Amino acid sequence: MGELVDGVWHKQPVAKGTGAFERKASSFRNWITPDGAPGPSGTGGFAAQSGRYHLYISYACPWAHRAMLLRGLRGLAAHISFDVVHPFMGDLGWHFGTDFDGATGDSLYGAASLSEIYVRAESKATTRVTVPVLWDKQTEQIVSNESAEIILMLDQAFNGLTGNTETIRPKGMGDALNAVNARIYDTLNNGVYRAGFAGNQDAYSSAVDEVFATLEWLEARLAKTRYVMGEVLTEADWRLLPTLLRFDPVYVGHFKCDRARLMDYPSLWGYTRELYGTEAVQTTTRFDHIRYHYYTSHETLNPKRIVSTGPAIDWHAPHGRGG
């Protein structure tokens, strides 16, 4: 993936000198709040208002998938619009081609690439150009491009509009959630990328060992409880699920995470199918975008860009985890 430097797009390699894949921190960290007061980071002025905000997403990207899940779960479809980039990410990064089913183009400005949106917000931006982007149509600024924070905004900031009373961060669970989220992010959400983009055997072996240690830890946990944190769905489940949905379709083969399949873990596999039955999950999961993106966008991993046939998966099979 490339990056912007002083507002100019540059293609950059993903591997560093150590051979380990390194993911840079997100650069826009403002918050939408009910009254526009400042959030935990960034500046204020982003009040929760219907029709004011727009999401730029990729159906292929697990981080963007999180945001779309919360948009659906919290009934925000009527309040927050969205556009979908093309699943192929080439030299220009994410772009707005419309020659793939479900890719929308840029409905706001007719931009050709997502980097144009970043430069529109900050003319001399130096940053990675990632999805999701939470955009303020009123001020033409990027509110945030950090998915972990966007989902918390969508969870609670718009309750005055929607009447929502649910939350993905139940009271008193914050510290435990943070610890579980940190492990899942470091070793699994990002761990599959560290394995797939490793530049040498040691980096790969270290990353893939952590991926499967965490899958085994989750398997044992879900054998005892219905969801990651117990009997109620939380932030941990919705941060984990996009990675699990992509595991057998792409990470096993494309990222060399082939020690075992998700389907080889009975509790994890049933859990994933249970959550897949949620309407917000089914309407935001596009396996055609997922597989096309990974197999065609990473030229160093798949130089001929051949998209494999993929495994046969029955996502609708009974999950066996109760009603």
Query: How many CA atoms are closer than 13 Å to the CA of 144, on its beta-carbon side?
Result: 25
The rounded distance, in Å, linking the Cα atoms of 259 and 17 is: 27
The one catalytic residue in 53, 56, 59, 61 is 61
Query: How many CA atoms are closer than 13 Å to the CA of 237, on its beta-carbon side?
Result: 28
Among this protein's residues, is 257 annotated catalytic? no
Give the N- to C-terminal CA distance of the chain in Å, as an integer.
Answer: 42
Among this protein's residues, is 185 annotated catalytic? no
Class of residue 1 by CB neighbours under 10 A (exposed 0-12, middle 13-18, buried 19+): middle
The one catalytic residue in 53, 56, 118, 193 is 193
Order of strands, sheet of 127-128, starting from the edge strand that comes earlier in the sequence? 8-10, 3-5, 127-128
Q: Is 161 helix (H, G, I), strand (E, B) or coil?
A: helix
The closest of 89, 19, 3 to 298, measured between CA atoms, is 89
**Residues annotated catalytic, as ranges:** 61, 193
